[in-house]
Structure 1
Amino acid sequence: MAVAGDTFSMSTMFDALPYPTGISGSVPPPGFASATHLHAAMFNLMTCCDGMSSFKEMIATLDKTELQRMASLLTSDSDYFMAIVTNKHGSRRVQKLLGKSDDADAIFCAAILRRFLQITTDKYASYVTIRAMVVFDDKDKKKAMYEQILYYALDLACDQYGCIALNDIITDADDPYYRDQILDLVAYNALCLSNDASGNFVVQRVLTLNDLRTMHSIAVSLRGHCIDLSFKKYGSYIVEKLLEADESMVVVVVELLECDGDRLMRLARNEFGSFVVYKALRSTKMSRIDLFWNLVKKLLPFLRILRRSHGSNIANILESLKLRC
């Protein structure tokens, strides 16, 4: 397969690369004066906009030693590696190299760990971290990656792309200890995350796991703030999810019952809050009839107002009970 000209092939790349230590010194990304022809050729191979199918065919022919030498070249300098994995095509090709050799994976793992936060919060490079967490089998590599995830979890959660990576990692977490550690960290920081433009998506994802212990912990962290969150689009999604489990539902409904009538009325008429109150009625009717009737009693005086607002769905439930206002 030709690379960067018809006379420069993968075999000449490997011949030019010292083994096993790779290229010594600092090798800047292509474009800098001291970048080598070898690195420029590899950069072109990894980031060109076409040829993915031929790239996959090429790496399928490499043995473990060649894969290790290729990984050594790609990671010989952190800036060089970053320039590749932050490129859309470079990220996809590095992902294809992961999981093919334990020795090559060890080299890639070290490179990811050196720039973990930068890689995992980048639009394209973050998928390298996600892929690594899926394919790394070695316990030491997996542990090192999980430790970085725990250390940077809140930074990842509050980043536009980091939250996507963290959500995927949480969903696929296969180590019970680290899974619980991450869930506990999200639950403990649920209030600040729920009010963050990106962090709220992490809280939502954790709640979809339906882990009752974590749901209760999140509800406790949000106690006293559920109504405020319910006025917001994404916050209301979080509160609605809490209403799906008995343990966390009680926390939300008690807060609804304890707020003053005017505030509850405004929430029930709100475009987002109305769905929270509606779901609270439906959830309590199925499992906590005492809370259901207490909520009905508090909402009934506002029936006429609710009919002419976003709270019409709530009014329908109240009217179906055929009670006097």
Structure 2
Amino acid sequence: MFNAVHHLRFADARESITKEYPTVAPPYPRGISVVIPPPGFTSSSPSHLTNSSLAALTHQESKMRSQWIFDVMTNQDAAPFKEMVSKLDKRELQTMASLLTSDSDHFLMIARNKNGSRRIQKLLGKSDDVDTFFADAILRCFFHIITDRYASYVARRAMTVFDKEKKEAMYERILHYALHIARDRHGCLALNDIITDADDLYYRNKLFDVVAHNALSLSNDAYGNYVVQHVLKLNDLRCKNNIVVKLRGHCVDLSFQRRGNYIVQLLLETEESMVVVVEELMKCKGDRLVKLAGNEFGNFVVEKALRVTQKEMFRTDLFWGLVHKLMPFLHRLRRPGGSNIASILDSVC
């Protein structure tokens, strides 16, 4: 069998998102018979085709074969797929994987189908040889797979069952596209799962570093902010400290935002980052702090800042600093939105 693993880690590492992925079909393994005859074959046709027989197939027959495989993989009725797979031995599964992945466009169409995605996932991890075909196909059109609603689950499953070398190739591709994946509607969810399940400390930390280094732009992104939130919830102290360094001076602005305020609230849960946030709140000029306290999103940040500093008795200076800064505006905070903050202030008057 061709040695595809050798090329997995660094092949096309610098390809851009818009660059058209190659559609060169991986060669069929030597000595393996194809066990899936396409519809239209006569009873006299051989049930097992050698590689030389494959080369002799007409264009129409090849097209029919591809359509038949597509139908089996994507049909609502899973029975034909289950029956077929149950009868295939290791070598025949390898041939099936070759047929499924020989054309990138065809493979991507199946992976983007809800049923197709599930059935590809069931074929992953069957054997290293089978996984080699799928790894090559996934890497050829990686960005299109990782950012698709259903195809992304193929990549997630691959990251749990592939061997170390194939996983490393996947990690390299993820790092290459990390920011673009994080800013994608479906990609951000896939990236969060991959970070959570990462079993390689080196690549886990590399992903943390990418998120932390780009924390400000991701925090202001409609989907990237979910990745920042997720990483903060994993409570990696080094990563959290790196994130707060990047967000220093921007916490108030983020607190006014629908999603950004969640990130600031998460920063308030760790002592080191809490100090950074509260000190920034206290530096607000004029009545900006009271505007934040009355804001539909910002009020949650101010309320949490008061509660965590009140609880941490060794930093009472931060708590009383906020109280004294807010007290002159108590009458304005009694309105809806700031009522919880007003209650805290009343309790310490």
Same fold (TM over 0.5): yes
2:344, 2:49 → 1: CA distance? Answer: 76
Could you tell me which of 138, 159, 163 is aligned with 1:112? 138
- Separation in 1 of the partners of 2:178 and 2:142? 11
Q: CA deviation at 1:266?
A: 0.3
Q: Which whole-Å deviations, capped at 9, do the CAs of 1:47-104 have from their partners, x for residues lacking one?
A: 11222x5534542442221111111000001111111111111111101111111110
Q: Which residue is 1:15 aligned to?
A: 48
Q: Which residue of 1 aligns with 2:256?
A: 231
Shift of 1:3: 8.8
Q: Report whether the alignment pairs 1:37 with 2:64.
A: yes
Please tell me whether residue 47 in structure 1 is matched to residue 93 in structure 2.
Answer: no
2:160 matched to 1:134?
Answer: yes
Counterpart for residue 32 of structure 2: none
Three-state SS of the structure 2 residue aligned to 1:270 is coil
In structure 2, do the counterparts of structure 1 residues 264 and 176 end up closer, same or farther at CA, with 3 Å as the change threshold? same
For residue 217 of structure 2, the aligned residue among 170, 173, 192 is: 192
Distance 1:61 1:108 in 2: 20
Give the corresponding residue for 1:82: 108
Residues 19-58 of structure 1, C-alpha deviations (whole Å, 9 max, x = no match): 9xx967xx9xxxx97952211111111111222x553454
Work out the number of aligned pairs and report it.
310
Please tell me whether residue 121 in structure 1 is matched to residue 147 in structure 2: yes
Please, which runs of 5 or more residues in structure 1 have no aligned partner?
none
User: Which residue in 1 is equivalent to 2:176?
Assistant: 151
Q: How many Å separate the matches in 2 of 1:23 and 1:81?
A: 19
Residues 307, 99 of structure 1: CA spacing in aligned structure 2 closer, same or farther, 3 A cutoff?
A: same
Q: For residue 318 of structure 2, what is the amino acid of its counterpart?
A: L
Amino acid at match of 2:227: V
SS of corresponding position for 1:233: coil
1:208 corresponds to 2:241: no
Which residue pairs with 2:20 in the alignment?
Answer: none
Of residues 164, 168, 174, the one that matches 2:193 is: 168
Q: Which SS does the other structure have where 2:259 is aligned?
A: helix
2:5 aligns with none
2:334 is the alignment partner of 1:307: yes
Partner of 1:100: 126
In 1, Cα distance between equivalents of 2:189 and 2:344: 38
CA distance in 2, matches of 1:241, 1:8: 66
- For structure 2, which runs of at least 5 residues remain unmatched after alignment? 1-34
Contact 2:124 2:158 in 1 (8 A): yes
Summarize the Cα distance change of 1:254–1:2 in structure 2 as closer, same or farther, 3 Å threshold: same
- Residue correspondence of structure 1 range 195-274 to structure 2 within 5 A: 195-274=220-299
State the distance in 2 between where 1:57 and 1:18 align: 25
* One-letter amino acid of the structure 1 residue matched with residue 190 of structure 2: A
Pick closer, same or farther for the CA change 1:8–1:174 going to 2, 3 Å.
farther
Q: Which runs of 4+ in 1 moved over 4 A?
A: 1-9, 32-35
Q: Deviations over 1:151-183 (max 9, x none)?
A: 100010001111111011011111000000001
Checking the alignment, whether the CA contact within 8 Å between 2:182 and 2:188 is kept in structure 1 is: yes
Cα distance change on mapping 1:116 and 1:205 into 2, 3 Å: same
- Asked if the contact 1:133–1:169 (Cα under 8 Å) also holds between the matched residues in 2, the reply is yes
Structure 1 residues 33, 56: CA separation in 2 closer, same or farther (over 3 Å shift)? closer
Question: Where does residue 318 of structure 2 map in the other structure?
Answer: 291
Does structure 2 conserve the Cα–Cα contact (< 8 Å) formed by 1:74 and 1:80? yes
Instruction: Give the superposition deviation at 1:276.
Output: 0.3
Structure with the larger RCO, 1 or 2 (CA within 8 Å, 6+ apart): 2
Normalised to the residue count of structure 2, the TM-score between the two structures is 0.83
Cα 1:180–1:109 change in 2 (3 A) is same
Contact 2:72 2:80 in 1 (8 A): no
Q: Which amino acid aligns with 2:229?
A: Q
Kept in 2: contact 1:4–1:45 (CA 8 A)? no
**Residues 139, 170 of structure 2: 8 Å contact kept:** yes
Q: Would you say the 8 A contact 1:47–1:89 is kept in 2?
A: yes
Distance in 2, Cα, partners of 1:43 & 1:241: 46
Distance in 2 of aligned mates of 1:272 and 1:57: 54
In the TM superposition, residue 5 of structure 1 has moved relative to its aligned partner by 5.8
Q: Aligned partners of 1:13 and 1:278: how far apart in 2?
A: 75
* Cα pair distance change 1:73/1:4, threshold 3 Å: closer
